[in-house]
Structures are given as structure tokens and as C-alpha cells.
Amino acid sequence: MASRLVFDPLVALRAAPLISSTCTLLYAWDQHFFLNVFNAPEVRPKSKTVVQSYFRTFFRRGLPIVLSFITLSAATAAANLWTSPGALRARGTFWWYAAGAGLSLGHLAYVPAVAPRVQALVEAEEAEVEEDVNGLLEGWLRVNFVRMQTTKMASSTDNHQDASADDTHVQLMKGLTVAENHQEAADQEESRSENTIINYLIENCPEFAELRELRAEGWKNPEGDVFFKQLRNNADNTDSRTERYFYDMMRRIANEMHHSTLAFRIKNPGADYPHILDMGCAPGGFLATALDKNPGAKGLGLSLPVPDGGYRVVLPSGPDVDIRYLDVTMLPGDLGFHQIPVGHPDAYDFLPRQFELGRTFDLVICSGSVVRKHHVADYRQRSEARRLTASQLALGLERLNPGGTMVVLFHKVEARDTVLQLFRFSRFCGRLRLFKPTSGHAKRSSFYMVATEVRSRSPEALVAIEQWKEVWKAATLDMEGDAREEFDAEHVLEEFGEELVCLGRKVWAIQAEALKNAPFIKGH
């Protein structure tokens, strides 16, 4: 992080068209001024014998320099357009970079006008030199002056794009330094909070302490990287056979969860029949199990489209199942936001409302997680996991009937954001439990929170919904906003520490036992 304060590749890329086109302008102006001296009345009679040899030498040595600057201006402007179109559109500078690239390449349009004059100067015979060389030079200077104005336009364009998008190179460096300092301070606060939580758990929970030692041992062994890389590869490259395998595995996990917690039982539906919402439902094992446990229930499943990197829903379709392929982080209307900033990079990708007004559910499953193959705009890269969590929790809790159940996928009980959400849910649900399956994903840090008898209309729940919406807004509409919520680790542990240990103890024990039997853990 600190190294980027000294050199940030993004800053260099943004500023490169300005710097290179400015160099081209200075080079052209210096050349224009110097060559005009040859045609000054007091110098003109003496310059005729020098101009021809000057042009021969200059174009042999200077032309590569000019072409290099033009190429650099056009290439770096094009690179900005290629790598960050969304960010440039968000700042209103996309077309300035495009104009800069076009004007830089526009220099080549002057070749037909310049080349004959240069050739005439270089190849002129002695007799012609005495008579015509200064006239030829004047013609070349006129064309070069027009070409130089194009250079000036390109430089001004690049200056505008950098001034408006990045406030010129120096101001951009200052701005990024402030942003980086803010980011670094937030990172340090997050690290301090997590260290506080980890130290507390090491002192108060032997199961966590043992798991931490096993994780450290696994990190030291390259075989562990190979093992988890293979798991990721299997998840990222599925076919009909592996899709069915994951579907069956998720059904086993769902049945194991229900046997342990009765998570999928809907006792008092808010309507004539139970309503179930599953966000991140692919491959469909959880939704299928929930429908089996509640005859007559209606299910709505949302899943990232397959072309965007999502997975196919294997659950058979039917009149009781509504599967929609969409990105749940792109529903501003359902989250209560109806004004999209002008020029937002995702302005045309946001989706219309998906939930009818007043529609509620008795069971909400939030099992979506960030997909590695999902290509997202640059501004989303840093906070995509928080955007996804906040979207699911806000959409789900706001539409959960009072007394309903929420099942939420989390990673690492001890993580700062996870502890915050568990603490938050503990304040508005009748019972909070954590479930770690043994029939699948036991070696991973993932687990499920099962919140039952949720008081979804309580003041605490309503505050939580608004806080999640603000996280989504900061990470999506503000773009430069920090999506992290404030977190006082000492205060939370003082109120919630003992309950956190009780909740997480079995989760950590199951993962530790699975890691002991992993091929990359020695001596267990």
C-alpha cells in the first residue's frame, strides 16, 4: 500500500498521454522557432547552404523521436480506454481520452503534405538550393505549424482529461495520496480489529487456537496451495456431471443442516402457503430441500447468469419454482435507490425491480458468494464481497415475515465483518446458531448462520437494513466511498464475546478435525 504512494501504475497510465503529447508540442514548437530563424531577413542569405544538410541530419535523428512520442500518446490513451472504460465514463473523461488518441494519430494525416517538401529539401540539386531552398522551407513551416496546432489540441485534450478526471498529474498524485492514506488507515483499523478478535479467541477458545495452528501449518506446505487450487479449478470448470455432483452435495448439506437445526421448517407461514427466497441458489440443492420440507411452498431463486460466471440451476422447474438469473447486487430500486449518478459505469447494467411491492417470505436463504469468473467494473473490485453480502441481507431481511428464518452463508467466524453481522443478528432474532457441515466443505472456513424467530420489524432490524443499504450505496453509487462499517472490536467482544465463543466452538472444531486428516497436514 505504501509503495503506491511513491509510484502508482494507474497514475502513470492516466498521466502518460498528457506528458507525451506535451513533449511532442514542445519539440514541435522548438523546431518551428529554430527553423524560422533560417528565413529571418538577416540570416536568410547565409542559411541556404546549411538548410539542406540540416534537414538530412535532423530527419535521420529526429523523426524516430517524434514518431515515438506520437505512438506513446496514442497507445497510452488507448490503454486507458481499454483498461478502465467504466471509471473514465464515471468521471466524464472517456471521450477526452478517445479524442486525445485520435488527434495523436491525426499527425499521420499530414504525411502526404509534409513528405514532398522534406524530400525536395533533402534531394535538391545545388542550383535549386541557391534558388528555392528557403521557399521550400517556408512551405514546410506552414504545414508544420498546422500540424503543431493539432499537437496542441491533443495536448489540451489530454490536459483536460487529466485535469477533470485526475486533477492534473500532480493533483492526482495528491488526491490519490489522500485516498491511499484513508485506505491505508482503514486497512490498519481493520487489521487491529481482527487482531483484537483473534487474540480474544485464542485466550478463550482452545478449539480456535488449535485450528489456527493447523491453518498455519497448512499455509507453510505448498501441497495445501495445490489442494485448494484444485478445488477452485473444479468449481470454476463444471460440466453436467460436476453440476449434478455439486447439486447432490448441497442437498446432503441442506439435509444435514435441517437435521441439526430444523432450519427449513416453516411453522407459521405469513400467507396461505409458505414462501421461500433463495439468493445465490445455484445449483439449487438448498431450495429443493426447503421445498421438500414444506409441501405446497412457493420458491423464488435468484442466481448469477451463467454467461457472467454463475452456475446452472439443476433444480427441476415447476409451477412452484421461479428461477431468475440475475446479479442481486444490481437491484437499486429494490434497495430503495432510484437515482443513478450521471455517467455511472454500470448505468445501463442496473436491473429493474424484481420484488413486487408487499411481497414477503417466510424463509430467506442468502448463499451467494463472489464468483472468480465474474467480470465486474473496476470500481467494484475492492468491495465486491461486501456489496454482495449487504445486498442479500438488506433484500432478505426487509422482505422476511416477522418470526421467519434466515440462513446465511459466511466465511470465517472470527473475521471482522462476520463478527459484526453475527452480533447484529443476535439483537433481533429469537435464536442464533452456526452450522458447519461435515458432508462437504469441512476443510474450508465457510459456515452457515441460522437465525430463527427473526423480529424483522423491530427497531434493531430496521436499523440493520438501513446500514446494509448504506454499505451498498457507498460501494456502488458513491464508487469512491469506503464500504466498511465502523466497528469497535472491544465493545462488541465485551457484549458478545462469550456468545461468539459458544457459537463458533463447534464450527472451528469441525474444520480442525477435517484439516487434521488433510493430505497437506503432517503429523496428525
- What does the pLDDT read at residue 78? 84
> Do 295 and 380 belong together in one domain?
yes
State which residues form the domain around 39.
3-166
- What does the pLDDT read at residue 169? 42
To 10 degrees, what angle do helices 168-204 and 206-220 make?
A: 130
Cα dist. 236→146, 253, 287 in Å? 55, 20, 22
Cα dist. 112→107, 115, 315 in Å? 11, 6, 66
Dump pLDDT digits (tens) for 229-238. Answer: 666 666 666 6
Lookup: cell for 519: 493430505
> Do 398 and 504 belong together in one domain?
yes
> Do 246 and 117 belong together in one domain?
no
> Do 88 and 187 belong together in one domain?
no
Is residue 518, in this structure, part of any structural domain at all? no
Which residue type sits at 125? E
> Do 249 and 162 belong together in one domain?
no
CATH of the domain at 313: 3.40.50.12760
Q: Give dist(CA 265, CA 171) in Å, integer.
A: 58
Strand partners, 405: 363
Is residue 461, in this structure, part of any structural domain at all? yes
- What does the pLDDT read at residue 397? 99
Spans in the chain with pLDDT lower than 70: 1-11, 45-49, 52, 55-56, 58-60, 62, 83-92, 106-133, 136, 140, 147-187, 223-238, 372-374, 479-483, 522-524
Q: Give dist(CA 331, CA 333) in Å, integer.
A: 6
> Do 133 and 245 belong together in one domain?
no
Q: Give dist(CA 321, CA 298) in Å, integer.
A: 6
Domain boundary among 166, 196, 228: 166
Dump pLDDT digits (tens) for 364-420. Answer: 999 998 876 667 777 777 788 899 999 999 999 999 999 999 999 999 999 999 999
Return the SS3 of 304. Answer: coil
- What does the pLDDT read at residue 259? 97
Is residue 230, in this structure, part of any structural domain at all? no
Phi, psi at residue 404, to the nearest 5°? -80, -175
- What does the pLDDT read at residue 25? 74
Lookup: cell for 354: 424484481
> Do 145 and 199 belong together in one domain?
no
Domains of the chain: total: 2
CB distance 456 to 397 below 8 Å: yes
> Do 255 and 382 belong together in one domain?
yes
By CB atoms closer than 10 A (0-12, 13-18, 19+), residue 337 is middle
> Do 74 and 152 belong together in one domain?
yes
Is residue 128, in this structure, part of any structural domain at all? yes
> Do 151 and 186 belong together in one domain?
no
Domain boundary among 141, 166, 191: 166
Is residue 332, in this structure, part of any structural domain at all? yes
Q: Which string of DSSP letters, residue by residue, matches 126-157?
A: HHHHHHHHHHHHHHHHHHHHHHHHHHHHHHHH
> Do 381 and 447 belong together in one domain?
yes
Strands 298-303 and 275-279: parallel
- pTM of the shown model: 0.66
User: 491, 516, 501: which is closest to 413 by C-alpha?
Assistant: 501
Is residue 327, in this structure, part of any structural domain at all? yes
> Do 376 and 503 belong together in one domain?
yes
E strands within 444-495?
446-454
Q: Which string of DSSP letters, residue by residue, matches 224-257?
A: HHHHHHHHHHHHHS--HHHHHHHHHHHHHHHHHH
CB distance 310 to 284 below 8 Å: no
Domain boundary among 166, 197, 227: 166
Is residue 523, in this structure, part of any structural domain at all? no
Is residue 235, in this structure, part of any structural domain at all? no
